[in-house]
Amino acid sequence: MSHRKLFLLPGDGIGPEITAELEKVIAFMNTKADAGFEIEKGLVGGSAYDAHGVAISDDDMARAMAADAVILAAVGGPKWDSVPYDVRPEAGLLRLRKDMQLFANLRPAICYSALAASSSLKPELVEGLDILIVRELTGGVYFGEPKEVIDLENGQQRAIDTQVYDTYEIERIAAVAFELARTRDNRVCSMDKRNVMKSGLFWNQVVNRVHDEKYKDVTLSHMLADAGGMQLVRAPKQFDVIVTDNLFGDLLSDVAAMLTGSLGMLPSASLGAEDPATGKRKAMYEPVHGSAPDIAGQGIANPLAMIASFAMCLRYSFNMIKEAEALDAAIAQVLEDGLRTGDIMAEGCRKVGTAAMGDAVVDAF
Q: Give me the residues that bind a second copy (CB under 8 A), please.
A: 76, 85, 88, 90, 94, 120-122, 125, 141-142, 144, 147-149, 152, 156-168, 193, 195-203, 225-227, 229-230, 232-235, 247-248, 250-252, 254-255, 257-259, 263
- What angle, rounded to 10 degrees, do the helices at 354-364 and 321-336 form? 120
Q: Of the two residues 162 and 319, which places its CB atom closer to a second copy in the complex?
A: 162
Instruction: State yes or no: 91 annotated in a binding site.
Output: no
Q: Does 161 bind ligand IPM (CB under 6 A)?
A: no
Identify the helix (H) or strand (E) that includes residue 192: strand 187-192
Neighbour tally for 110: CB within 10 Å? 20
Nearest residue to ligand IPM on Cβ basis: 90
Strand pairing of 104-110 and 267-274? antiparallel
Instruction: State yes or no: 95 annotated in a binding site.
Output: no
Q: Of the two residues 86 and 153, which places its CB atom closer to ligand IPM in the complex?
A: 86
Instruction: State yes or no: 83 annotated in a binding site.
Output: yes
- Catalytic residue chosen out of the listed positions 142, 165, 285, 316: 142
Task: For residues 22 and 6, give the distance between their C-alpha atoms in angstroms, rounded to a whole number.
Answer: 12
Q: Does 78 bind ligand IPM (CB under 6 A)?
A: no
DSSP 275: P
Q: Does 148 bind ligand IPM (CB under 6 A)?
A: no
Catalytic annotation on 142?
A: yes
Q: How far is the CB of 157 from a second copy (least distance, A)?
A: 5
The residues, any chain, with a CB within 8 Å of residue 219's CB and separated by 6 or more, are 186, 187, 188
Catalytic annotation on 12?
A: no
Instruction: State yes or no: 107 annotated in a binding site.
Output: yes
Contact yes or no for 132/183 (Cβ under 8 A): no
Task: For residues 340 and 321, give the distance between their C-alpha atoms in angstroms, rounded to a whole number.
Answer: 26
Interaction partner, residue 1 (a second copy, ligand IPM, none; CB < 5-8 Å by kind) = none
Instruction: State yes or no: 92 annotated in a binding site.
Output: no
Q: How far is the CB of 171 from ligand IPM (least distance, A)?
A: 22
Catalytic annotation on 217?
A: no
For residues 114-137, one letter each, b for 16 or more C-beta atoms within 10 angstroms of the residue's C-beta and e for the rest, the string is bbbebbebeeebbbebebbbbbbb
3-class secondary-structure state, position 319: coil
Q: Of the two residues 12 and 328, which places its CB atom closer to ligand IPM in the complex?
A: 12
Catalytic annotation on 254?
A: yes
Edge-to-edge order in the sheet of strand 69-74: 37-41, 4-11, 69-74, 281-287, 267-274, 104-110, 130-136, 241-244, 187-192, 219-224
- Catalytic residue chosen out of the listed positions 99, 254, 337, 359: 254
Binding-site residue ranges for Mg(2+): 226, 250, 254
Contacts with ligand IPM by CB under 6 A lie at 90, 93, 195-196, 226, 250
